[in-house]
Structure 1
Amino acid sequence: MTLLEVSGVSVSFDGFQAIDNLSFSIGEPELRAVIGPNGAGKTTFMDIVTGKTRPDSGHVLWGEDNRNLVGLSEQAIARLGVGRKFQKPTVFEAQSVRDNLAMALKAPRGPFDVLLRRSVDEGRLHEVAAEIGLEDHLDRPAGALSHGQKQWLEIGMLLAQEPRLLLVDEPAAGMTTAEREHTTDLLNRLAQRHAIVVVEHDMAFVRRLGCKVTVLHEGRVLAEGSLDHVTQNKDVIDVYLGR
């Protein structure tokens, strides 16, 4: 099933065409890598999907009822099931891993729920911690984790909110070899149940993901297919790989 369909989307900033009649779709579940040179529109694409940027034209259709996300707030889009992980981890470093996950768990967020400090779903918390490989680190301060572990914690905080789509920005940056391997395994497991879009520059990491690849250039889809297919495309070689 198609979960997200970006259709004919364009947006410009001060005369610069950041996204140019872009069409893109991802199924549920599916893992997709998005690559391309700097300025290709990768970040703007994620900004549009999450409601941070409103396009000049086009539609962003979501879910079974093809609801148009354009014009909805970032909070409303997140509540519909779109989660985004930025390149730099944004965890609460003074809090424990447990507390970070507990704060993120999907639960009632009204004023009475906060005042009453309703109990955390410990089963779900441990399930998420095990999924990301941090079950043995629940009592550690998040600030004491390695860079890779902080990335996994942030992915866990997204998972705790039960998203249908995860947008993940350059997860391999700054990781050790072992952390990169753990991350690829984690993303591949999650993609059995979720739609995941990974924006990445590291070709070795993309190859390990073993998924369909979309190449963006000047705000448009330049090529799409397996990594071997797109890396043999003359246009891709000229504008991206040949640099």
Structure 2
Amino acid sequence: MSSLLEVSGVSVSFDGFKAINNLSFQIGARELRAVIGPNGAGKTTFMDIVTGKTRPDSGRVTYGTKAVSLLSMSESRIAQAGIGRKFQRPTVFEDQSVRANLTMALKGDRGPFAVLFSRTTRAQAERVADLAAEIGLSGTLDRKAGELSHGQKQWLEIGMLLAQDPQLLLVDEPAAGMTPAEREHTTDLLVEAAKTRAVVVVEHDMEFVRRLNCRVTVLHEGSVLAEGSIDHVTSNDKVIEVYLGR
């Protein structure tokens, strides 16, 4: 399987502390991957590097079939190239309807003014309806986003990212603060999304990771400690020692 994203020998230090230490990581074009590790393992810094927020001191980060370097690209260029990121706290337009949030997010010139002052085409309306169905919010299209539950806001934000049709989706701790039913729906949503794009899920909740039923990468002190199925990594002595606790 050819890689969509390849991180090779990447290191970055902050005030002498090596946050990422000779990290290598790759993911295929239609793959779901969970990234786990203790606090300070480098999970957030890894995402910051891929999205252009942090520049590494050394190493390579290439993306796409032509293996273009992400290191010379701005954050906005990286987003336009098809890399979407969902942060832990949902950021949606609370005063706007679910429909307006999804419409604004559609690929193309859909900034707030474009949405307010232009008519939505039939194709756009259909795409919004499809996205709402995919994320499980069809019944809430005309509600204000601020009225949604925490879990529903998370789904709306995932829907807004999917509206931009990214080829790589980075999702930070999606299960945090969710009810068991919401977590189950989130699992289904991410598994479905990974059928058409690469999805990297950074998560602490091991039960949630187990339900994703995907390859797991364990980070520790800024590099890969173990990789494989959830059963493989959770039976690894080093992983047990540094992460799961004896």
- TM-score calculated relative to the size of structure 1: 0.96
Q: Give the counterpart letter for 2:149 in structure 1.
A: S
- Other structure's SS at 1:208 match: helix
> Is contact 1:54-1:71 (8 Å) kept?
no
Instruction: Tell me, yes or no, if structure 1 residue 234 matches structure 2 residue 237.
Output: yes
Deviation at 1:108, TM superposition (A): 2.9
> Is contact 1:11-1:20 (8 Å) kept?
yes
CA deviations over 1:197-230 (Å, ceiling 9, x no partner): 0000000000000000000000000000001000
Give distance in 2, aligned partners of 1:142 and 1:111: 15
Deviation at 1:42, TM superposition (A): 0.1
Deviation at 1:2, TM superposition (A): 1.1
Instruction: Tell me, yes or no, if structure 1 residue 147 matches structure 2 residue 134.
Output: no
Query: What are structure 2's unaligned runs of at least 5 residues?
Result: none
Q: Give the counterpart letter for 2:213 in structure 1.
A: G
**CA pair 134-111 structure 1, distance change in 2 beyond 3 A:** closer
How do 1:195-206 and structure 2 match up within 5 A? 195-206=198-209
Instruction: Tell me, yes or no, if structure 1 residue 25 matches structure 2 residue 26.
Output: yes
Give distance in 2, aligned partners of 1:91 and 1:173: 17
> Is contact 1:132-1:186 (8 Å) kept?
yes
> Is contact 2:172-2:201 (8 Å) kept?
yes
Aligned residue number for residue 191 of structure 1: 194
Instruction: Tell me, yes or no, if structure 1 residue 161 matches structure 2 residue 164.
Output: yes
> Is contact 1:90-1:154 (8 Å) kept?
yes
Instruction: Tell me, yes or no, if structure 1 residue 172 matches structure 2 residue 192.
Output: no
- TM-score calculated relative to the size of structure 2: 0.95
Q: CA RMSD in A?
A: 1.6
Aligned residue number for residue 34 of structure 1: 35
Give distance in 1, aligned partners of 2:190 and 2:111: 32
> Is contact 1:29-1:191 (8 Å) kept?
yes
> Is contact 1:33-1:214 (8 Å) kept?
yes
- Other structure's SS at 1:126 match: helix
Instruction: Tell me, yes or no, if structure 1 residue 84 matches structure 2 residue 80.
Output: no
**Matched-pair identity in %:** 73
